[in-house]
Structures are given as C-alpha cells and as structure tokens.
C-alpha cells in the first residue's frame, strides 16, 4: 500500500511536536539546530518495527517498545487462552503481543500503549535515545550507526543467535552472528529511509530554500552509496 506524502508530512509534524516534549530545553526549539535528520531516522526505525503504529491499531506504539513481562497469573491466562495477543491492560497502558528470541522462539510480552499518537512518539523517542546513547540525534548518524547503537544496548535481538554470554552492553567488535543481526537491521532502516525521505520534500522544517537546499540527507547516506 502506498501512503500519500501528506500523511508522512503530518506524521513528521507530530514527531517534531513530540521531540520538543521528549527533549525540552531552556532555549526552546527556535534557538536549536534542526532535528530533521534525527526525526527521519527515528521515523524509519518505527516504520520498520510497527509501521509507525499502523500495524498495531489503537496502541500508538512506535518502534515496538516493550512495557514489561507477564506475571505468573497473566502467563496462566495466556496459556489457557483467556489472555490473547491484541488484548490491552485494564488501564490501556500496555498491549499484548508475541515477540521472538533468536532463532525464532516466541514469547508473550506487554508492549507500551499510549492514549495519543504524539504521546506514543514521545515515549518512543525517549526510549530510542536511551537505547542508542543519543546516536540517532547526531547529524553524522547513519542507518548502520543507529542499528549498531541499538543492538549494543539490547533494543532488538535479531534472528541470529548471539554466541557470547549476555552483557549489559555488548562489546565491540561484534561476533559474526551479532554483526549479521546489525547488518540486517541497518538494511531494514535504510529501506524505510529510502521511502520516507522523498515523501518529506514538502515538509519545510530544517530546510533552507534560500540556499537551494531541498534535502538534508547527504549523498553518503543514500542506499546507492551505502
């Protein structure tokens, strides 16, 4: 399904709104440099994970951010079939889905749910910042560097089994299966970037028309030269 550029622009505006809430500063946004590239990277991560929440209607979960594991009582209900994927917690703060550990071992887990789209993005941006060390906010960030920062801090696992003992933060250089997980995730982010960035040419935030700038993405960041 092709999504109209107008939808992407409105989503980007919500990301910018969420950014100011997630990362407030005394000077305000007017005194800060453009965050356009960081927003585009974040949008691409969220598009890969949950299609920017469209894959999980009603939850406003961006980026497949988890909330918590199941209690013993909840596990019993899940095994009995009375608690199912797609069910929400009573306060609507979480939605149940089945995730997988590599190489594809399923497990039920509560994912974060928000009451509005902007609040869902706020939580996602704060989580992505924490689990990348802020990497995606750097003008020098790429799909590859973002995927690596996410993997080191356990944002995702991938489908290749990690062949080293669990560490609070994975050590580099990565092992072969670890690097394969990063390479695949980086490729997924890049594919989303290749769709999203052209759709945002009508969004003027962070552009400088007077200087003839129509895109903030250097050629080195495009798929053709990655």
pLDDT for 174: 96
Tell me which residue of 158, 117, 161, 153 sits closest to 134, measured CA to CA.
153
pLDDT for 62: 98
Looking at residues 161-177, what average pLDDT do you find? 92
What sections of the chain are H helices per DSSP? 5-22, 36-50, 72-80, 117-130, 143-152, 176-199
Share of the chain above pLDDT 90, in %: 81
Looking at residues 67-86, what average pLDDT do you find? 98
Query: pLDDT-based confidence at 80, cuts 50/70/90?
Result: very high
pLDDT for 214: 47
> Left if phi > 0, otherwise alpha if psi is -120 to 50, otherwise beta: which for 135?
alpha
The sheet carrying 66-68 orders its strands as: 66-68, 105-112, 94-101
- Alpha carbon 101 to chain centroid, angstroms: 18
pLDDT at residue 163 is higher than 90: no
CA distance 89 to 191: 33
Contact 151, 166 (CB under 8 A): no
Query: pLDDT-based confidence at 68, cuts 50/70/90?
Result: very high
Q: Rounded to the nearest 5°, which phi and psi values hold at 105?
A: -85, 115
32 three-class SS: coil
Share of the chain above pLDDT 70, in %: 88
pLDDT for 210: 52
pLDDT at residue 211 is higher than 80: no
pLDDT at residue 209 is higher than 70: no
- What integer best gives the mean pLDDT of the chain? 90
pLDDT at residue 106 is higher than 60: yes
pLDDT at residue 176 is higher than 70: yes
pLDDT for 4: 94
Instruction: Report how many helices (DSSP H) and strands (DSSP E) the chain contains, helices first.
Output: 6, 3
């Amino acid at each position: 399904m092709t999504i109209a550029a107008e939808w992407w622009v409105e989503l980007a505006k919500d990301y910018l709104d969420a950014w100011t809430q997630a990362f407030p500063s005394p000077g305000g946004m007017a005194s800060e440099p453009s965050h356009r590239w960081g927003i585009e990277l974040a949008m691409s991560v969220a598009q890969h994970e949950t299609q920017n929440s469209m894959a999980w209607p009603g939850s406003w979960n961006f980026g497949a951010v988890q909330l918590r594991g199941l209690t013993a009582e909840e596990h019993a209900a899940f095994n009995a079939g009375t608690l199912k994927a797609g069910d929400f917690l009573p306060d609507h703060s979480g939605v149940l889905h089945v995730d997988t550990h590599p190489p594809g071992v399923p497990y039920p887990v509560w994912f974060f749910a928000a009451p509005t789209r902007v609040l869902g993005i706020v939580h996602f941006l704060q989580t992505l910042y924490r689990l990348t060390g802020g990497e995606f906010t750097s003008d020098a960030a790429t799909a590859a560097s973002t995927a690596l920062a996410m993997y080191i801090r356990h944002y995702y696992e991938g489908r290749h089994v990690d062949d080293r003992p669990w560490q609070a933060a994975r050590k580099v250089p990565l092992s072969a299966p670890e690097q394969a997980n990063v390479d695949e995730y980086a490729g997924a982010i890049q594919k989303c970037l290749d769709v999203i960035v052209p759709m945002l040419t009508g969004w003027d935030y962070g552009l400088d028309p007077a200087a003839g700038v129509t895109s903030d993405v250097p050629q080195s960041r495009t798929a053709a030269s990655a």
